[in-house]
Amino acid sequence: MTFIEKLSVAWEKSNSLLCVGLDPDMNRFPEYLRGKPDSIYTFCRGIVDATADLVCAFKPQIAYFHAARAEEQLEAICAYIREQYPDIPLILDAKRGDIGATAQQYAREAFERYNADAVTLSPYMGFDSIEPYLEYRERGAIILARTSNPGGSDLQFLKVSESGKNIPLYQHVAHLVAEKWNVHGQCAMVVGATFPHEIAEVRAIIGNMPLLIPGIGAQGGNVEATVSAGKIADGTGMMINSSRAILYAGIGENENYAAISRRAAMMTRDEINRYR
């Protein structure tokens, strides 16, 4: 089954567009986990088990694992999700982008070492930096268009000329992906929930291609505006990510942290579903 097929089944089965992001920050862990050798894996497993029936995807953020020298724990949590929840798409948020030969190694890392269903990619270095990921036909390539951070405007809002019209760079990227790069039908795109107008612009360009939308929760993106701008005719089309607002909802709750995160995930899923 391809990434896109798996995602469609997950949307239907879970009745959820929520993607829970795994951004494990040890400074925010419950007291009883601090200092334990496998605390990152244990913390994430608690969140995964508590929210698995509420999500359409999980998205581990590679930086949190690598910065803590916890690559083996990232391998372990990816393997756990694959084994215990094989129907839930696993997205590795790595935002890779490099020359082809190096990209081949990054693709091996994402799809073979971590066995992710999809990986996030920067389009900045062009098609040959994306192509090695597309060789893995069953896996997904999720390409940044309009990111959720304010500084994304520095480049993504620059005007470029396309077919005699001046359009923002992020729209040019959406055209490239939809019309040229998505050769095997495995691409998706990132647009931040902090930019609902741009979600609608990208949706108009890419048709029914899935969107990964970070920026609700801790970054303050508006859920109603996001869903209205990004949904497709059947009320799906989006993986709406929330990380910190769910992971650390139970801060100070110690052993009970995962139950509080579950409650936060349920409320977020329900809020999203209200506007589908």
Ligand X SMILES: O=c1ccn([C@@H]2O[C@H](COP(=O)(O)O)[C@@H](O)[C@H]2O)c(=O)[nH]1
Catalogue the active-site residues: 95
242 binds ligand X (CB under 6 A): yes
Question: Nearest distance from residue 245's CB to ligand X, in Å?
Answer: 6
61 binds ligand X (CB under 6 A): yes
156 binds ligand X (CB under 6 A): no
Would you say 182 or 242 has its CB closer to ligand X? 242
* Dihedral pair phi/psi, residue 39, rounded to 5°: -65, -35
| Angle in degrees, CA 41, 43, 44, rounded to 5 | 65
51 binds ligand X (CB under 6 A): no
Question: Nearest distance from residue 18's CB to ligand X, in Å?
Answer: 11
- Measured in residues, the chain has a length of 276
Binder of ligand X out of 217, 230, 237, 250 (CB under 6 A): 217
Question: Nearest distance from residue 148's CB to ligand X, in Å?
Answer: 4
CA–chain centroid gap for 207, Å, is 19
Would you say 214 or 237 has its CB closer to ligand X? 214
- Taking each helix axis from N to C terminus, what angle separates 196-206 and 223-230, rounded to the nearest 10 degrees? 10
241 binds ligand X (CB under 6 A): yes
Instruction: With CB under 6 A as the rule, give the number of residues binding ligand X.
Output: 18
- Taking each helix axis from N to C terminus, what angle separates 100-108 and 127-134, rounded to the nearest 10 degrees? 30
190 binds ligand X (CB under 6 A): yes
How far apart CA 268 and CA 242 sit, in angstroms, is 9
Binder of ligand X out of 52, 56, 93, 116 (CB under 6 A): 93
**The one segment of 68-76, 131-139, 163-171, 236-244 that binds ligand X by CB under 6 A:** 236-244
DSSP letters for 144-163: EEE-SSGGGHHHHT-EEEET
Q: Which residues contact 69 (CB under 8 A, 6 or more apart)?
A: none
Contact 107, 133 (CB under 8 A): yes
Contact footprint for ligand X (CB under 6 A): 21, 23, 61, 93, 147-148, 190, 192, 214-215, 217-219, 241-245
